[in-house]
Amino acid sequence: MSYVNPHYVRAITAFDLDTDIVNDPKLKEIIEVAQVDVNHAIGTKVFLEKVRGIDDYRENNIDGSNTNYYVQYSWDWYFGDLNDDGALTVADVEVWLYDSTNDIRSLATVDSIDERGMVTLNSAPASTYDLKITYIKCPVSIETPHYLVKKATGELAAAMAYSGVQAREYKRISMPGLSIAVTPKAHYIYRTKYEETITRILSRKPVVIKKPTEESLLSPLKFVQSL
């Protein structure tokens, strides 16, 4: 899957990047490469984070009955695309089980994930286990790609497409004692736009979800009014 399609990239360029310049199959390949760059630019990898209690709501009990676990950045950040396939799936979170009785590590089976940082396992680990989670934290949603994620991917794909074309069109005017390079600008323009969009994404403050209270859970209307 991809965050954007060829039509979106062509629209970014006001359709100057038409099929005579690059056809759809090639542009799709360029998009796939671009979105990997975007993922690494906006996401931060959290490697083997130990599961601990966070608050009264996110207790993260490892007791043989609980299957839902929250990462430390849950609610404030989103899960990112760990495997760079353009979609948010259970493959984007790795949960490792450490058995304290025999020092054996095994990979748990993830049943589902919530993009705001909750992982549901297909079976509840016993209290003898420690859990560690590897994932990407991201300031914006990639499950339903945020418009800035789509914009960045489209701009980088356009820049990459133009760079391939314009590399063949690079010209140099030479005269005795003078050499002037004439460099096509489209690649530079869209690369600059991409970098500006990435800066906008990284400057965004994560939206903090207000921790639900017992009163708010019993009275949804009062909770809404308090926001």
- Residue 111 and residue 60 share a domain: yes
For the ranges 36-40, 84-88, 178-182, 205-209, the lowest mean pLDDT is seen at: 178-182
- Residue 125 and residue 59 share a domain: yes
The neighbouring-strand residues paired with 182 are 171
In this structure, is residue 166 part of a structural domain? Answer: yes
Nearest Cα to Cα of residue 157 among 23, 10, 40, 43: 10
* pLDDT(61) > 90: yes
- Residue 104 and residue 185 share a domain: no
- Residue 78 and residue 148 share a domain: no
Calpha distance 104→126 (Å, rounded): 14
Domain that holds residue 156: 6-41+144-202
- Residue 49 and residue 37 share a domain: no
Average pLDDT of 80-84? 94
- Band (pLDDT 50/70/90 cuts) for residue 13 is very high
- Residue 61 and residue 117 share a domain: yes
- Residue 50 and residue 120 share a domain: yes
* pLDDT(6) > 80: yes
Q: Are 113 and 90 in contact (CB under 8 A)?
A: yes
In this structure, is residue 217 part of a structural domain? Answer: no
SS3 sequence, the chain? CCCCCHHHHHHHCCCCCCCCCCCHHHHHHHHHHHHHHHHHHHCEEEEEEECCCCCCCCCCCCCCCCCEEECCCCCCCEECCCCCCCCCCHHHCEEEEEECCCCEEEECCEEEEECCCEEEECCCCCCCEEEEEEEEEECCCCCCCCHHHHHHHHHHHHHHHHHHHHHCCCEEEEECCEEEEECCCHHHHHHHHHHHHHHHHHCCCCCCCCCCCHHHHHCHHHHHHHC
Residue ending a domain, choose from 138, 156, 176: 138
* pLDDT(154) > 50: yes
Total domains, the chain: 2
Calpha distance 202→194 (Å, rounded): 12
- Residue 75 and residue 130 share a domain: yes
Quick one: pLDDT at residue 113? 97
In this structure, is residue 194 part of a structural domain? Answer: yes
Q: Are 50 and 60 in contact (CB under 8 A)?
A: no
Calpha distance 2→128 (Å, rounded): 41
Q: HSE of 106 in the Cβ direction (CA atoms, 13 Å)?
A: 9
In this structure, is residue 34 part of a structural domain? Answer: yes
| 169-215 residue pLDDT tens | 445 555 565 544 444 688 889 999 999 999 999 997 665 555 555 55
Residue ending a domain, choose from 112, 138, 164: 138
- Residue 23 and residue 51 share a domain: no
- Residue 124 and residue 68 share a domain: yes
- Distances in Å between the Cα of 80 and the Cα atoms of 77, 93, 119, 133, 163 are 9, 9, 13, 13, 28
* Tokens at 61, concatenated: 């009990």
Amino acid letter, residue 64: G
In this structure, is residue 64 part of a structural domain? Answer: yes
In this structure, is residue 183 part of a structural domain? Answer: yes
- pTM of the model as a whole: 0.79
- Residue 95 and residue 151 share a domain: no
- Residue 34 and residue 96 share a domain: no
Handedness of CA 118, 145, 89, 30 (dihedral sign): negative
